[in-house]
Amino acid sequence: MVGIIMGSDSDLPIMQEAIDVLESMDIQIEVDIVSAHRTPEKLFDYSKNAHTRGIKVIIAGAGGAAHLPGMVASMSPLPVIGVPVKSRNSIDGWDSVLSILQMPGGVPVATVALDGAKNAGILAAQIIGASDKCVLDKIIAFKEGLKLKVEKASERVRK
């Protein structure tokens, strides 16, 4: 249901957080490396055909110039969530953030924080949960868990 792609295998440690979130909610995923600059034909094929394989949301992580999320969004009818990844050749990650965030009108990319793949996974689950009650219930339980975690921490530190 969710396609998770990244520009390089060096992005996998960050993107693993999205994988983990979605797997914890029993949401089917496919994971692949699709480079906007090194494999443009694969990028075109993936973007134009993901919906025909049952993908409902695409999470695209990329560092540096970070063209992957925007290029996918330009060709796919699906919602795209961009994850800016701070890479070794990055300018503190700002190049990635701005490349994904500053999309032209008509080509939206939902953008999470730098290295924010966990939130990308949660957002993808919420999008799917809008039309899937089972996933929605898991999101509700997840949010309740966040609340309980804060309440327990508050009890520990309160004086």
Q: Which residues are annotated as a binding site for substrate?
A: 8, 11, 38
- Asked whether the CA dihedral 147, 17, 4, 37 is positive or negative, the reply is positive
Q: Which residues are annotated as a binding site?
A: 8, 11, 38
Are 80 and 113 in contact, with CB atoms under 8 Å apart?
no
Residue type, 57: V
Strand, helix or coil for residue 152: helix
Question: d(Cα 5, Cα 75) in Å, to the nearest integer?
Answer: 15
